[in-house]
Chain A
Amino acid sequence: MAEIKKIATRESYGNALKELGAEFPELVVLDADLAEATKTGIFKKAYPDRHIDCGIAECNMMGIAAGLSLVGKIPFVSSFAMFAAGRAFEQVRNSIGYPHLNVKIGATHAGITVGEDGASHQCNEDIALMRTIPGMVVMCPADDIEAKAAVRAALEHEGPVYIRFGRSAVPVINDNPDYKFEIGKGTVLREGTDVTLVATGICVDSALGAAEKLAAEGISAEVINICTIKPLDEDLIVKSAKKTGKVVTVEEHSVIGGLGSAVCDCLCAKLPVPVKKIGMQDVFGESGSAAALVQKYGLDAEGVYKSVKEFL
């Protein structure tokens, strides 16, 4: 059996920035002493003069990015999700969101797959925070291919964008010649009739694995990959929910305010159906390997499979 290619989306982010650097001379990258970890160091190596290390001062970094965007630059600002979306929330809201500036936030090390660093660094709240800001696009790519496509799409989009990347290597699942990426468009990765699994980020792979297990028991699950959580592809979700009548959301994020909430916001207005939200159940994470944590909190294929079975 051929080995499945695995790559962390933060690595895809760094590679994409470097690639786009040649095409877009106004692209600049800001970091807060984490270039090695966020992988903006890959861009820095190629374009040292366009990489701005702001030191450990994320709030100021957001403001600097805002200022740069007002004099013709396209800044990508990077830190861990905890500090980009959490610590600097109000700066993102008031200095970037409110004036609707052309700033892109590339937040890495999101969710519990940060692993050993533990709960202080495992941000399970960033999607919730960012999606409340009017005009903010929020994306959470599932793999290397989607991550690179999302970075380009963010660059070509006029306005603020938040993109969430992970620390740990994840399988490449979008490796097909027909792959197309568009902000606000979800994709049906597997068709089914009994239940709809709506997943984002690393949980797309878990949802596909769970669908496989369910199929073995004669349960037909449709799997939708939602990279853009805001604006949400409501038509796609409603269409699928109409067919299956049951929806399960899967995310490496709190079940409060993230993908699950976004899907519920949509369905309660357009097509009320039972929804189960799989994610961090209003708890903090803890130290451990990424794999062990994903298993413990029920976000791997087996955990998702079990939750779906309970739900049905």
Chain B
Amino acid sequence: MNNLELRKHANDVRKGIVTAVHSAKAGHPGGSLSAADVYTYLYFEEMNIDPKNPDMEDRDRFVLSKGHTAPGLYSTLANRGFFPVEDLKTLRKLGSYLQGHPSIHIPGVDMSSGSLGQGISAAVGMALGAKMNNKSFRVYTLLGDGEIQEGQVWEAAMFAGHRKLDNLCVIVDNNNLQIDGPIDQVCSPYPIDKKFEAFNFHVINVDAHDFDALRAAFKEARETKGMPTCLVIHSVKGKGVSFMENQAGWHGKAPNDEEYAVAMVDLDRIAAELEKEGEA
């Protein structure tokens, strides 16, 4: 899939995120939008998955360790065909299968998550199991940069490095903001890359919004043998929605009707630009 198609899908994913969170009147748009491009790349290009057979035995696995950005994952899964895009509007509502945080019962969701620091351990277990079973599928997990303040992340990283799990790709969404403010003011996890290197990971710093860079990084990760890979993806929190960009306040807040209209104007403009680019 070429970059223009990926960018179009990513823009649709962003629309789904904003629509779902607006409809739910709650949820986490900031970190969903910062990761929208990497979600898109994973599900439309990188991973071996089948929306018609979500439980396919040898599929690649994805664990959303930063589970609060479920709207990003759900919108990606919906746009990829795992369930109807229309269902995104049921997010967080009583009776909906789209729970506030990922639940394993949702088509395409490989592990329940949401309590920070836990998803990476499950991903490590899946990668270890693949090795023990001589299976060639890969395991991906997405963490927040605030999330890596959890000690369990480093327990998991130590184990993955020790076991040389080269079928594991850890992605850290480095948008530099957590609920209480910039991560380096709250409790700095920097340098993120050096820390994962010290835990015996191959580390790649990537621009989270550049599909050429993502393509190259995931390829490098696949080709890296004898150690797990960590992609530190440098992103903009709230990316794509003008008033949400780089604002910690949009970590876990839903737009009201007026804000939603502005957000959709922003995303429609991007969509129109992408159409033009396609025609040119």
Contacts and interface: CB of A to CB of B under 8 A. Distances in A.
Interface of A: 28, 49-50, 52, 54-55, 57, 59-73, 90-91, 94-95, 98-99
Contact residues on B (Cβ < 8 Å of other chain), bracket: 20 to 34
Most buried by B among A28, A59, A67, A72: A67
Contacts of A50: 132
10 contacts: A55-B162, A60-B156, A61-B121, A64-B122, A67-B121, A67-B122, A68-B126, A70-B129, A72-B129, A91-B121
A63 B112 contact: no
B186 interface: no
Given A64-B124, A95-B122, A70 B111 contact: yes
B118 A70 contact: no
Nearest to A69: B125
Counting from the closest, the 4 A-B pairs by CB-CB distance are A67-B125, A63-B121, A60-B155, A71-B129
Given A61-B121, A70-B126, 7 more contacts: A57-B159, A59-B155, A63-B121, A63-B125, A68-B126, A73-B132, A90-B115
Contacts of B128: 52, 64, 67-68
A191 B49 CA distance: 60
B118 A71 contact: no
A61 B111 CA distance: 16
A7 B238 CA distance: 61
A95 B158 contact: no
Contact of A70 (B103, B110, B152): B110
B104 interface: yes
A62 B117 CA distance: 12
Contacts of B85: none
Contacts of A98: 103, 112
A62 B121 contact: yes
A90 B152 CA distance: 12
A65 B118 CA distance: 12
Most buried by A among B117, B126, B127, B155: B155
Contacts of A61: 121
Interface in B187-216: none
B24 interface: no
Given A57-B158, A63-B152, A91-B118, A99 B111 contact: yes
B121 A64 contact: yes
Contacts of B124: 60, 63-64, 67
A57 B160 CA distance: 13
Most buried by B among A57, A60, A64, A70: A60
Interface of A is mostly: helix
Given A28-B132, A95-B122, A67 B111 contact: yes
Given A71-B129, A98-B112, A66 B122 contact: yes
B133 interface: yes
Nearest to B105: A99
B159 A71 contact: no
A54 B125 CA distance: 11
A140 B186 CA distance: 44
Contacts of A60: 121, 124, 152, 155-156, 159
A67 B112 contact: no
A71 B152 contact: no
A49 B114 CA distance: 32
B129 A94 contact: no
B120 interface: yes
Most buried by B among A64, A65, A90, A98: A64
Contacts of A70: 61, 110-111, 122, 125-126, 129
Contacts of A28: 132
Nearest to B123: A67
B135 interface: yes
Contacts of B156: 60, 63-64
B189 to A, nearest CB: 18
B130 interface: yes
A59 B120 CA distance: 11
Interface string B151-192: 110011011001000000000000000000000000000000
A55 B158 contact: yes
Contacts of A55: 155, 158-159, 162
B27 to A, nearest CB: 19
A73 B120 CA distance: 18
A64 B135 CA distance: 17
A106 to B, nearest CB: 17
Contact of B130 (A54, A71, A94): A71
A54 B159 contact: yes
Contact of B159 (A64, A66, A94, A95): A64
Nearest to A100: B104
Given A57-B155, A60-B159, A66 B125 contact: yes
A74 B151 CA distance: 26
Contacts of A64: 121-122, 124-125, 128, 156, 159
A65 B110 CA distance: 14
Given A71-B129, A71-B130, A94-B112, A63 B122 contact: yes
A59 B129 contact: no
A62 B120 CA distance: 11
Contacts of B123: 67
A71 B127 CA distance: 9
Contacts of A62: 121
